[in-house]
């Protein structure tokens, strides 16, 4: 069943809870389609008065902020072994190359990596746990987490909702285009990150091969 058609069958309270839960789990570090669920729910809100876009945006923002904070706490406690475990469980998302790319972003941008990472599909999964592993000061993480979460979740809800209001009759027939656009944006950002991750892995392997082998005594 189409995601939006399925959401149309459940009560508004369940939609709020589902959006907050999925986005929270994604922000915590579990690969889930948080952006697709949020876009679908915002489109649904634009076509049905039962769903309040303000409450929807607030639930999405809360899920993003709380999930990221839990991910930070888990990453701070679990450290590098946690990243190794995630790499074994989710090799496509937490490969050594992806982690290396994310680490370089954190080293270069610091708390801004948490803020802007909210807008990139793969970095949304990394941001919280990796910030904890790298021991980013919590106050810096919290500021970036709160502002990034509100701007991404609230902003996405507002934009999609008002687009739906303006083009309601068109979207009723072709609402799947909104999902396709969201998927394409997510896939594009993933492909870019995968390319960077592959490059980072290659550079590491090349550097390791060039390291001189210590002479035996």
Pair 129, 74: CB distance under 8 Å: yes
Tell me how far apart the alpha carbons of residues 1 and 50 are, in angstroms, rounded to a whole number.
Answer: 21
Whether residue 131 has pLDDT greater than 50:
yes
For residue 76, give every residue at least 6 positions away whose Cβ sits within 8 Å of its Cβ, in sequence order, or none: 132, 133, 135
Give the pLDDT confidence of 148-176 residue by residue, as tens digits.
999 999 998 998 888 777 655 554 555 55
Tell me how far apart the alpha carbons of residues 183 and 84 are, in angstroms, rounded to a whole number.
Answer: 28
Neighbours of 81 (CB within 10 A): 9
Tell me how far apart the alpha carbons of residues 30 and 93 are, in angstroms, rounded to a whole number.
Answer: 9
pLDDT at 91: 63
Give the pLDDT confidence of 76-96 residue by residue, as tens digits.
887 777 767 766 766 666 666
Q: How confident is the model at residue 205 (pLDDT cuts 50, 70, 90)?
A: low
Whether residue 44 has pLDDT greater than 70:
yes
Q: Give the mean pLDDT of the chain.
A: 75
pLDDT at 62: 95
Tell me how far apart the alpha carbons of residues 104 and 159 are, in angstroms, rounded to a whole number.
Answer: 31
Tell me how far apart the alpha carbons of residues 210 and 66 are, in angstroms, rounded to a whole number.
Answer: 44
pTM of the model: 0.66
Pair 87, 138: CB distance under 8 Å: no
Burial of 98 (0-12, 13-18, 19+ CB in 10 A): buried
Neighbours of 192 (CB within 10 A): 14
pLDDT at 21: 94
């Amino acid at each position: 069943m189409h995601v939006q058609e399925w959401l149309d069958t459940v009560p508004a309270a369940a939609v709020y809870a589902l959006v907050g839960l999925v986005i929270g789990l994604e922000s915590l570090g579990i690969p889930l389609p948080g952006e697709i669920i949020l876009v679908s729910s915002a489109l649904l809100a634009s076509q049905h008065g039962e769903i309040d876009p303000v409450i929807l945006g607030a639930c999405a923002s809360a899920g993003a902020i709380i999930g990221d904070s839990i991910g930070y706490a888990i990453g701070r406690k679990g450290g590098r072994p946690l990243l190794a475990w995630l790499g074994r469980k989710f090799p496509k998302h937490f490969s050594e190359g992806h982690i290396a790319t994310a680490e370089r972003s954190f080293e270069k941008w610091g708390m801004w990596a948490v803020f802007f990472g909210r807008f990139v599909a793969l970095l949304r999964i990394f941001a919280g746990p990796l910030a904890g592993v790298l021991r980013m000061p919590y106050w810096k993480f919290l500021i970036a987490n709160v502002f990034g979460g509100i701007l991404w979740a609230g902003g996405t809800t507002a934009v999609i909702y008002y687009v739906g209001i303006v083009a309601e009759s068109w979207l009723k027939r072709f609402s799947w285009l909104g999902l396709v656009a969201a998927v394409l944006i997510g896939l594009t950002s993933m492909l870019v990150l995968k390319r960077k991750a592959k490059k980072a892995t290659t550079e590491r392997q090349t550097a390791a091969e060039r390291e001189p082998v210590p002479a035996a005594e």
